[in-house]
Amino acid sequence: MADLSVIVSEIELKLRRLIDAKNELSIEKQRLTEENIALEQENRALRQSVEELQNKINKSTIVNALDNEGEIEEGRKLIKELVKEIDRCVSILNSKE
């Protein structure tokens, strides 16, 4: 009978350890689930931020391109004016000959 009592005590001890381990794992699972939810929310926020920043970069690139086109157009106008002035000077020089 003593052997049976020892066996039952060992089984009870193992069951308590299993129950404690299960409870610890349940707590850990809950913590990890909450952490996962928080990380998913942070991930969504960061993706949205990246998308907004990408849109700003695209808009900035377009504005810079348009601004450069304006500068190019101004440069073309200036060159045309200089060519006209050179043509006038050449015609004046040709008329004096």
Domain carrying residue 53: 1-69
Comparing 97 with 33, the larger pLDDT belongs to 33
* Percent helix, strand and coil across the chain, each to the nearest 5: 100, 0, 0
d(CA 52, CA 46): 10
> Is residue 54 domain-resident?
yes
Mean pLDDT of 44-55: 93
Check residue 1 and report its DSSP letter. Answer: -
How much is the pLDDT for 1? 64
> Is residue 25 domain-resident?
yes
How many angstroms separate the Cα of 53 from the Cα of each of 2, 18, 45, 56, 60? 75, 51, 12, 5, 10
Comparing 67 with 34, the larger pLDDT belongs to 34
> Is residue 40 domain-resident?
yes
> Is residue 88 domain-resident?
no
How many structural domains are present in the chain? 1
> Is residue 17 domain-resident?
yes
Amino acid letter, 6: V
pLDDT category at 75 given cuts 50, 70, 90 is confident
d(CA 26, CA 28): 5
> Is residue 21 domain-resident?
yes
N- to C-terminal Cα separation, the chain: 140
> Is residue 90 domain-resident?
no
The per-residue pLDDT for range 12-41, each reduced to its tens digit, is: 999 999 999 999 999 999 999 999 999 999
How much is the pLDDT for 89? 85
The per-residue pLDDT for range 52-61, each reduced to its tens digit, is: 999 888 888 7
